[in-house]
Structure 1
């Protein structure tokens, strides 16, 4: 992880559907009304709080958790040649799994990185190799410049926050939800992050797609407890 990884102003995925929501006595639900802004404000404030907490976590601690997460992923993922795994390029204190990404390539798996092609459109997954040409994509995130588009069997998604139902609080753009909904076949979706990013609830909405599992360190696996 470099110093630039912790700099603000770049996002793994941009801002979601919070502007379409309203608050009800049972929580937040889709619709119109003054409370539309309430959920947007809450998620924005929670996002900022959690990102600040993540950035305040010592680099050595984040590296330790990343190593533990990588070891757990080796148990969760069917590591076999030809399997397509989508990862991410770490920013803003996200767990740096680039060494594990390289190890997957060395073991014969196909690795992809998500690429934003247009606002409000699903991501595409472009093949990555250690010697492949990279360029700066949206929000200056490195992406493969000309890799083949792949359909992932496994998608790793960094979390800003998460809850016991395995719903992910991201950066707000809704890109992962939109992308997963558009996949021709359902991949195994794994959220990764620091254990301190767990919150009581993200107030999931109809468009929110839960992770299958969230990994936050050695033996720290969160599977959905209940679903709405």
Structure 2
């Protein structure tokens, strides 16, 4: 994913001026604050992404393996369940080996596809070896395959807070998608432990994750 064009305004180097209003950001939600929150989120996003990309690839692989173990503990038996994952992008945890193991254990997999800017994602069935094509931002997506509704959505995140709100890339795709799905899946945000922040200053359009899994959650 990439940043929302609305986030192209100059970023603040410091938190929003209303941070003193509440520790959890609950009092910082009025729509009149949204332009300021958006600029602050852009600055936080850039800071966290820079830290993420600075982690050596070998270390990220170790962290991804621990996240995979945490996912197994959170999900349990994947048989007869459809897991919607993501194709790793910009230093995100690479969970493709874990997804292959889900299929080996009797589960099914799906990848998200951007159909149109400002619209929900769709998920298409996927198995390792299926033909892929370049989608938006050159992220590989299934070239064909049936549209499918996941039972579990693994949502990549840039940052997250104690209330399980997710700081994403600014496009709003996952929020729109979760709001539009005909039935609610189990939604697990995936990221690195250092990406936790006190609050993202959640807005009415933000949807919290059911839980967050990082490398610190492996048993």
Q: TM-score, normalised by structure 2?
A: 0.87
Instruction: Find the counterpart in structure 2 of residue 51 from structure 1.
Output: 49
More helix by share: 2
Contact 1:14 1:174 in 2 (8 A): no
Q: Residues 17, 111 of structure 1: CA spacing in aligned structure 2 closer, same or farther, 3 A cutoff?
A: farther
Contact kept in structure 2, 1:17 and 1:173, CA below 8 Å: no
Task: Find the partner of 1:182 among 172, 180, 183.
Answer: 180
Do 1:18 and 1:39's aligned partners in 2 also have CA atoms closer than 8 Å?
Answer: no
Q: Where do residues 130-145 of structure 1 align in structure 2 (5 Å cutoff)?
A: 130-145=128-143
What number of residue pairs does the alignment pair up?
206
SS in 1 for 2:49: helix
Provide the residue aligned with 2:126 in structure 1: 128
Structure 2 CA distance, aligned partners of 1:204 and 1:23? 16
For 1:46-125, what aligned pairs fall within 5 Å after superposition? 46-125=44-123
Distance 1:146 1:190, change over 3 A: same
* Aligned match of 2:155: 157
Q: Which runs of 4+ in 1 moved over 6 A?
A: 16-19
Q: Classify 1:74/1:219 alpha carbon distance in 2 versus 1 (closer, same or farther; 3 Å).
A: same
Higher strand proportion (structure 1 or 2)? 1
Gaps of 5+ in 2: 9-15
Equivalence for 1:219: 217
Normalising by structure 1, report the TM-score.
0.83
